[in-house]
Chains A and B, each alone.
Chain A
């Protein structure tokens, strides 16, 4: 299986994250799975004219293409021309290249939330008119139309995340190489279910605080960040706390909120990223699949039941009170 990687309008961080893949590193991983890199802008030797010839050969159907990975959003501006991002040396917009190459590929993989949904590049007034490869925010239809399927019959596979976890990308590619990723393996936003069926909340180390709604009031405190600090890990898809990042990391483990970066339009939460919108003092967002009345009832009950250890630790920056030791009876 061969692969071409294009960097469109993004920060390049998904590639930088991909290079953090371990056991084995990304080069060995792809090589071991028989994935041959036709070209990648950050790591391949080829530069300039030979790259242009490669792109032209794919476009002409002379060079088969198994996987087209696109990192970064696609710019349509100014005025629909796509000229805010010309693919260097080609005199053509990336928008034009993506629309031309995608139908040639067996699979199209959008890497990162810019490529999937537009992401941070579409923040605010969206100056460059950025969209995802097949989505414009949460709506289907981006640089490619809503009905687009690649030669495999799959829609654009949306490996969302800002950045993507290296394993989300490599495991998607390995599953494609293995013929193990079908329509049923993608969720309602075409994200691979192997990571999108989990919530960031799963295995969050702050779960005991969450159980009692023992909340941090400022960043660097240990408590749950849902009530005051904008954390939406109970709604955000991702296995971040199950598999962890860069060794043993995750956003909530490092003491800052999950901002739902795997979701369409996460860049525009409608409030500050580190604050929780409330109505009458009560957070507006509910944990996924939680009935509101039950959530309210359980939250008020559990708050009252908060053990002192958890209450004190919640607003401390380190464990002040350790768990009570249970002595053997004899």
Chain B
């Protein structure tokens, strides 16, 4: 096969707009260039606004990670004020955030990722008919069950947050609604119903059984539920050998609160997690249609290059930690938290690893959500009074479903003087940096199989979607 270039777009079943350019020869991807083709400019919109307006505006960066954005903004504002939310308010905020992340994980598996295996290109495989029944886009029975379960799970956000997406319930001092004992019972009922769905359909077994898997051999032997079906697909298509990443992972730590993080923060490169120094984060703009040089986010700028210069190819900046790109997401989170199966998967760094990491988190985070709800005491206050400073800086670091999300804020004279956001997919789908080093997805696509006649190679689709990209967050 001679050298060709493929342009894949519109690349759907990802959140937002994505275009991937591939250099192909010898039936393999030789180089990939990932373009986020939409620029809205949220960081500029916020300039000159009252700091609290960030709580209304930043959730609207993203309709799928909306609560993550709320939480990051609330933490950044509280940090600027040197204040802490009321402990119970922090727990409710964490519960709201967990519900969104769980909803996103199951949406990804059922609606975005699995439908690709129902494609006619896989007809004849031993598992194909079953995948067609469960996961055909728009029609599959598993997909319908997932959408119904998701809508019911989000009743928790309806009750505590008014609606999903785009709640204003999460504030620097806590949350705007103090749940009653009756509310707590309803929320518990919603969580129990969701557990029933997860155990009955996706896992086919108690969540605890999956959460206790410790080795790849144990995982390979999992046969029940939709995850058993995915396991069969994955072993047949060798998804454990596809989309191999650099094996460098980053987590800001999930659900910080009065009890510490639910899932630890840190980095991972090799076998053991390390502490994270977020002051070593910079954003490179060498291949982005952005002006200005490499900056730490607290001093960062967002100056779009209206000329869209030739040597750049995306609106996405390239975040680096100590000069290196990092992969972030559920796999990173679970591995950095020290879960043995996640550590083994992180070493594998494949399509299968990312998807299984997410499913492992679905089980573990559900158990954590139940425990968190038990610790919410309705008789206590849910909001602390916090006064914002006229001048100051604040940082809000959280874990969205897709990974590390940071807000860096500077307040001058009571107004937002600078606001910089680095979203999970900014890390994962970053373009090349000044050294020409590709971002994590770009690197993971190298070597992907391109079959004769494919204009949107299936292997590429699996690899891209294994990251669960959120493109609207990426550039924001």
Q: Which residues of A come within 8 Å of B, CB atoms?
A: 7, 9-17, 19-22, 25-28, 37, 39, 41-49, 51-52, 75, 77-79, 83-90, 120-121, 123-128, 130, 162-163, 218-220, 240, 244-257, 259, 267, 272-274, 317-318
Contact = CB atoms under 8 A, between A and B. Distances in A.
A254 B57 contact: no
B11 interface: yes
B35 interface: yes
Interface in B297-336: 304, 306, 308, 315
Contacts of B173: 219
A220 B176 contact: yes
18 contacts: A11-B60, A41-B12, A43-B111, A90-B9, A121-B40, A123-B45, A124-B49, A126-B45, A220-B174, A220-B383, A244-B158, A246-B151, A248-B158, A250-B162, A254-B176, A255-B162, A256-B169, A259-B56
Contact of B19 (A88, A240, A249): A88
A186 B394 CA distance: 45
Given A218-B385, A248-B158, A19 B45 contact: no
Given A48-B455, A254-B167, A22 B151 contact: yes
Contacts of B150: 19-20
Contacts of A256: 162, 167-169, 176
Contact of B57 (A21, A120, A249): A120
A28 B304 CA distance: 43
A273 B455 contact: no
Nearest to A246: B158
Which range holds the interface residue count of chain B? 35 or more
Nearest to B464: A47
B368 interface: no
Interface in B136-158: 136-139, 144, 147-148, 150-152, 154-155, 157-158
A209 to B, nearest CB: 15
Please name the 5 residue pairs, one residue from A and one from B, whose CB atoms are nearest each other, closest first.
A13-B63, A89-B9, A246-B158, A127-B41, A249-B158
B137 A44 contact: yes
A27 B144 contact: yes
Contact of B63 (A75, A121, A163): A163
Contacts of B7: 89
Contacts of A9: 38, 40
Contact of A127 (B44, B60, B157, B175): B44
Contacts of B57: 120, 123, 267
A278 to B, nearest CB: 16
B41 A254 contact: no
Nearest to A78: B306
B441 interface: no
Contacts of A257: 168
A256 B306 CA distance: 39
Given A84-B315, A163-B166, 19 more contacts: A9-B38, A10-B63, A10-B472, A13-B166, A16-B165, A27-B138, A39-B12, A47-B12, A48-B9, A51-B10, A83-B308, A124-B44, A219-B173, A245-B163, A245-B164, A247-B158, A254-B169, A256-B162, A317-B382
B360 interface: no
Contacts of B40: 9, 75, 84, 121, 127-128, 130
Nearest to A12: B63
Contacts of A250: 162-163
A43 B13 contact: yes
B64 interface: yes
Contact of A85 (B38, B151, B381): B38
Main secondary structure, interface of A, reads loop
Interface string B90-121: 00000000000000000100011001101100
Contacts of B455: 48-49
Contacts of A78: 304, 306
Given A47-B461, A245-B163, A317 B308 contact: no
A55 to B, nearest CB: 9
Contact of A255 (B19, B158, B169, B456): B169
A200 to B, nearest CB: 11
B123 interface: no
B168 A273 contact: yes
Interface in B422-475: 455-456, 461, 472
Contact of B17 (A48, A79, A88, A273): A88
Contacts of B111: 19, 42-43
Given A47-B13, A87-B10, A248 B64 contact: no
Residue among B45, B66, B381 with the highest chain A CB neighbour number at 10 A: B45
Contacts of A77: 306
B18 A88 contact: yes
A300 B268 CA distance: 63
A260 to B, nearest CB: 11
Contact of B165 (A17, A244, A251, A253): A17
Nearest to B306: A78
Nearest to B107: A19
Interface string B50-66: 10110111001111101
B389 interface: no
B110 to A, nearest CB: 10
Given A25-B151, A220-B177, A247-B155, A88 B10 contact: yes
A19 B66 contact: no
Nearest to A14: B63
